[in-house]
Amino acid sequence: SAVISQKPSRDICQRGTSLTIQCQVDSQVTMMFWYRQQPGQSLTLIATANQGSEATYESGFVIDKFPISRPNLTFSTLTVSNMSPEDSSIYLCSVATGWLEDTQYFGPGTRLTVL
């Protein structure tokens, strides 16, 4: 497994502003993922972040709204831009581990509330 931390753990933001969420892992990993969990809902993948290349976004998510950085093998950031109340969610990062990178472990999540 891996030890994953996220900052901030929670935040309350005003509409129209942006928030950057950090994800740090204690070992080098190739694949990192960002998920969104809307209130009372399941998790939905936003994008896959690969070191040294552009993030790959899922249908319904765009880079202008959710820019992602992956500067090295232990760190990634997700920015939620021009926020609206509909962006209020838990945002979780995960990393893929194992010989085939076939198991994902999650960070503790960031609870975002947009007023």
The answer to whether residues 80 and 67 touch, using CB atoms and an 8 Å cutoff, is no
**3-state DSSP call for residue 24?**
strand
Residues in the interface with other proteins (CB under 8 A) total: 25
By the rule CB under 8 A, 104 interacts with other proteins: yes
13-35 burial code (b ≥16 CB/10 A, e <16): beeeeebebbbebeeebeebbbb
CB of 102 to other proteins, least distance (A): 6
CB of 42 to other proteins, least distance (A): 4
By the rule CB under 8 A, 76 interacts with other proteins: no
Would you tell me which residues interact with other proteins (CB under 8 A)?
1, 30-31, 33, 41-45, 48, 58, 90, 92, 94, 96, 100-106, 108-109, 111
